[in-house]
A and B are shown apart, each in its own frame.
Chain A
């Protein structure tokens, strides 16, 4: 004879909906941040395609540039830009939380950790653009 307790679960775990992250902005922001990784992988795929086309010759390279002009690809890359910038901003804004630096016992202001990151982003982006646009 089975007693009533035998059918009770050992620990009670409420079921969480698969769409739990839609309920609150902070949850949604978390999932959007996590999804930015897909667009980072997409960037790598595109970069490898570009390098591969460059190696195969001018005709293949031009063909790839034509492909990138298609509205669907432009839309995808516009979405990518949104997500990679979202990654950058969330990454930089998280940095002060990840490393709490103290100088003479006092915590350093968040801005002192975040600002150099943004400056480096600007300077390095400008350098990359300069390298590509001068030719």
Chain B
């Protein structure tokens, strides 16, 4: 029981998040991280972005994208710490940090997206 039985479920979240992140994140980082701040492209206005975020579908999109991406991070980063730094003996601490962080992010995303003024 315990860790071993959770593994397939966590792996499923990892791979679903990996797929979603692979397809969706690059364009978001390109636009909001580079193209808009550097003025290569004209970003959407505050009002139009808010209108977009009011749509239930947009909020669901961001919720799923954020949650699954975080669980993808949690799973992969956990093994990076295990293998990269060889600190598998700290697994309880690492698991709490990784999956706890992902769970916290999920709650935060839900809270932020629940109501958009």
CB distance from B28 to the nearest CB of A (A): 7
- Count how many chain B residues have C-beta atoms less than 8 Å from C-beta atoms of the other chain: 55
Interface centre among B26, B73, B86 (most CB of A within 10 A): B26
- Chain B 33-57: CB-based contact to A (< 8 A → 1; otherwise 0): 1101110011111101111110000
* Residues 93 to 135 of chain A near chain B (Cβ within 8 Å): 117, 120-121, 124-125, 128-129, 131-133, 135
Q: Which residue of the partner chain B has the closest CB to A92?
A: B22
CB distance from B74 to the nearest CB of A (A): 8
Interface centre among B30, B79, B117 (most CB of A within 10 A): B30
8 further interface pairs, Cβ-Cβ under 8 Å (given A40-B17, A91-B18): A41-B101, A44-B105, A48-B112, A54-B116, A65-B43, A74-B33, A81-B30, A131-B52
Q: Which residue of the partner chain A has the closest CB to B45?
A: A135
Contacts of A54 in B (CB 8 A): 46, 49-50, 53, 116
Q: Is the CB of A124 within 8 A of B29?
A: no
* Residues 66 to 103 of chain A near chain B (Cβ within 8 Å): 68-69, 73-74, 77-78, 80-81, 84-85, 87-88, 91-92
- Tell me the dominant secondary structure on chain B's binding face: helix
Contacts of B41 in A (CB 8 A): 133
Q: Is the CB of B36 within 8 A of A77?
A: no
Alpha-carbon gap, A47 to B65, bound state (A): 10
Partner of B37, one of A68, A121, A128: A68
Contacts of A24 in B (CB 8 A): none
Q: Which residue of the partner chain B has the closest CB to A45?
A: B105
- Count how many chain A residues have C-beta atoms less than 8 Å from C-beta atoms of the other chain: 50
Q: Is the CB of B23 within 8 A of A37?
A: no
Q: Is the CB of B80 within 8 A of A50?
A: no
Q: Is the CB of A135 within 8 A of B28?
A: no
CB distance from B90 to the nearest CB of A (A): 14
Alpha-carbon gap, A62 to B46, bound state (A): 8
Alpha-carbon gap, A128 to B63, bound state (A): 16
Contacts of B28 in A (CB 8 A): 43, 47, 128
Q: Is the CB of A88 within 8 A of B23?
A: yes
Contacts of B70 in A (CB 8 A): 41, 44
Verify if A26 is at the interface (C-beta below 8 Å from B). Answer: no
Q: Is the CB of B32 within 8 A of A50?
A: yes
